[in-house]
Amino acid sequence: FILPWLVSQIGTRHGWNQGYPTRWNLVGALPIVIGLGLYIWCLVFHFRTYASSVRMGFAPPKLVTDGPYQFSRNPMYLSALFAWSGWPVFYGSLVVLIALIMLWLFFSFSVIPKEERQLKDIFGDEYIQYMHSVPRWMGRVQSNP
């Protein structure tokens, strides 16, 4: 909530009237709420899956492939980006849209490839098979064994 608000301070807010969003800006609240709900689902699913073992650091105790992870290898990033997609509309801000694009690029070309390399090292063939059956972002891919 804070980062999109801060970024929106940089440029003009289109559609706002006397410091308040108009109903067209409020349309942006829908993807924000849905994205946050999906993010919470991912967190709950993680905590339920890892309930018996808590570790600090990156290395997960188990490869999670159920729940939201059967549709996307990165549902937490996807839900965060989906929530972020509402902020440019809510604030009526081109600068926030540019920040969304930069965030997607950062996830796509820096964070996720690094995590994928680490997960391959940790889980080996199990993760490689998972990569072939579930897309990075969204959908369902059936692999041919």
Q: Are 102 and 87 in contact (CB under 8 A)?
A: no
Each residue of 82-91: b (16+ CB within 10 Å) or e? bbbbbbbbbb
Q: Token pair of 114, please? A: 């690094």
In the DSSP assignment, the letter for residue 131 is H
- pLDDT digits 0-9 by tens, 65-113: 888 998 999 999 999 999 999 999 999 999 999 999 999 999 999 999 9
pTM of the entire structure?
Answer: 0.83
Q: Does pLDDT of 144 surpass 50?
A: no
